[in-house]
Amino acid sequence: MMKRTLLAASAALAFASSAAAQDMAVTNATVATGDGSAPIENATVVVRGGQVVAAGSGVTVPAGMQTIDGSGRWVTPGIFMPLTDLGLWDVGAVSNSNDSRAGDARFNAALDASTAVNYASQHIAVSRGGGVTRATIALSPSDSIFAGQGAAIDLGADANAVVAPKVFQMVVLGEAGARIAGGTRVAAFAEFANALREAREVQSGRRVAEDSMLGRTDAEALGAVIDGQQKLYVHVERASDILSVLDLKKTYPRLDLVLVSVSEGWMVARQIAASGVPVIADAIDNLPSSFEQLGATQSNVGRMVDAGVKVAIGGLSGGITGPRTAPQFAGNLVSLSKLPRASGLTWGEALATITSIPAEISGFGGKYGVLKPGAAGDVVIWDGDPLEVSSAPVRVFIDGVEQPLDNHQTRLRERYRDLDESQLPKAYDW
């Protein structure tokens, strides 16, 4: 089994490494550009040199360019899924294959998720087959409220997975941070405030790292956060915790904050909107699993968007079962708009929460998650409405390079499609 797996992975990598960006046009399709606007029928997308050069109606296809007839198909930008664990583990219960947390490490803020990405992970292959072309990855916190530095990756079938390392720093507050820091939010916020203060003092030369609770490497890593050169993702749920985090801007005005999860975000949506801080939220989170989520509602995202908050759907980890379900969650938000007294999103707004908005929050606005001139040629062709669970990608391009859609799951499906139940399970061909 292992030999077959390695051969399949090698074949996929050989395919990708030998492929070049394709100049091509998709015509007669329903095109959704990912910018929040409604889909455009009978539209065209043109990709040249790995970039989108045109998308919409009335687009002229250059003479001699390869053309794909998109009749009956939908075309969208690739899904950009923030805050995943793609490529960081293979089998969750096997520690040797799991790099998603570092409970015994001597570092925390300095940890760099980009150093552990396994580009041949089946989780990446399965998500790619679901239309996910880009993602940001992050470690989970263990013995520190700081989980380390997250990275941006693409899901292409090649060895160059890391788009950008050290894109953001991740910190966990609320109940999870309280458990780590000593059992109370008081300790978590004290540890957080002290870390920022010590990092600033070490950076300015007013304190030597040896006199700090932070190690030198961690203090240096947080220096980029203090200067606003690196985004700070803060995981909080409760409304009061959200407001406490927003107040940090008074002391550290350069902080480039992003709120994560925020189950009670709708309760303070006006304050979040006024701060200009974007949110990466759970899509449908209406059953509280903790006291800090007592105000959870499935209308959370819709109400925040209505208040003017920039919201992306994220945190869909779990490897094979996670990122590829993003269109389903986005579709649920569209359905909510049709329920009495519920707050959902329009179709265009919902698609944007899994394409252009997460790309923008992650620092790649206009480059990924959108079909417009100059954007990367990340194009997904679907057999139907991508926000319907019955639809699936039929072709996926990353930087204009068509990607293989096969993976362990599809190969198992084909292997047993014609199984004669009177026989023993099929053996692998060597």
Q: Give the domain CATH number at 338.
A: 3.20.20.140
Residue 26 lies in a domain: no
Give residue 92's pLDDT: 75
Strand partners, 396: 380
- The pLDDT of residue 313 is 96
Specify the range with the lowest mean pLDDT, choosing from 50-54, 226-230, 309-313, 369-373.
226-230
Query: For residue 172, is it within any domain?
Result: yes
- Number of structural domains found in the chain: 1
- The reported pLDDT for the residue numbered 15 is 47
Domain membership of residue 191 (yes or no) is: yes
Predicted pLDDT at 418 = 76
- pLDDT above 90: residue 326: yes
Position 26 scores a pLDDT of 98
User: Where do we find the tokens 């001597």?
Assistant: 106
Look at residue 14 and tell me if it is in a domain. Answer: no
Quote the pLDDT of residue 429.
56
| Averaged pLDDT score across all residues of the chain | 90
pLDDT of 348 above 80: yes
3-state secondary structure of 206: coil
Alpha-helix residue ranges (DSSP H) falling in 122-265: 122-129, 174-181, 185-204, 216-226, 239-246, 248-251
The whole-number pLDDT of residue 211 equals 56
What's the rounded Cα separation, in Å, for the pair 109 and 201? 16
| Mean pLDDT for the stretch of residues 107-124 | 94
Q: Is residue 48 part of a domain?
A: no
Enumerate residues 6+ apart whose C-beta is below 8 A from 83.
136, 137, 138, 150, 233, 260, 280, 314, 315, 317
Greater pLDDT, 156 or 205: 156
In a domain, 302, yes or no: yes
**Taking 80 as the threshold, does the pLDDT of residue 421 lie above it?**
no
The pLDDT of 380-402, averaged and rounded, is 98
- 424 pLDDT above the threshold of 80: no
What pLDDT, in 10s, does the model give residues 214-261? 788 898 899 999 989 999 999 999 999 999 999 998 888 999 999 999
Q: Please name the residues in contact with 270: beta carbons below 8 A apart, sequence gap of 6 or more.
A: 307
What is the C-alpha separation between 21 and 411, in angstroms, rounded? Answer: 26
Top-confidence range, 142-146, 161-165, 288-292, 424-428: 161-165
pLDDT at 2: 37
Tens of pLDDT along 277-321? 999 998 888 888 899 999 999 999 999 999 999 999 998 766 556
Per-residue pLDDT, 6: 40
Total number of residues shown for the chain: 430
Q: What is the mean pLDDT of residues 8-28?
A: 67
417 compared with 343, residue with greater pLDDT: 343
Whether 354 is covered by a domain: the verdict is yes
Q: For 412-420, what is the mean pLDDT?
A: 78
Per-residue pLDDT at 321: 64
Give the residue, 31 or 419, on which the prediction is more confident.
31
Query: What is residue 9's predicted lDDT score, i.e. its pLDDT?
Result: 45
pLDDT at 209 over 80: no
User: Above 60 in pLDDT, residue 398?
Assistant: yes
- Dihedral angle computed from the Cα positions of residues 412, 389, 13 and 85, in that order, rounded to the nearest 10 degrees: -100
CA distances from 320 to 81, 122, 130, 165, 430 (A): 13, 8, 10, 23, 26
Decide if 25 is inside a domain: no
The CA distance from 271 to 264, in Å, is: 12
pLDDT of 380 over the 90 cut: yes
User: pTM, whole model, 2 decimals?
Assistant: 0.91
Rounded mean pLDDT of 90-114?
83
Domain that holds residue 310: 78-368
What is the 3-state composition of the chain as percent helix, strand, coil, each rounded to the nearest 5? 35, 25, 45
Q: How far is CA 202 from CA 100, 187, 199, 212, 252, in A?
A: 29, 22, 5, 8, 15
Residue 146 neighbours by CB under 8 Å, 6+ apart = 108, 109, 169, 170, 171, 195, 218, 222
**pLDDT above 70: percentage of residues in the chain:** 90
Q: Is 72 helix (H, G, I), strand (E, B) or coil?
A: coil
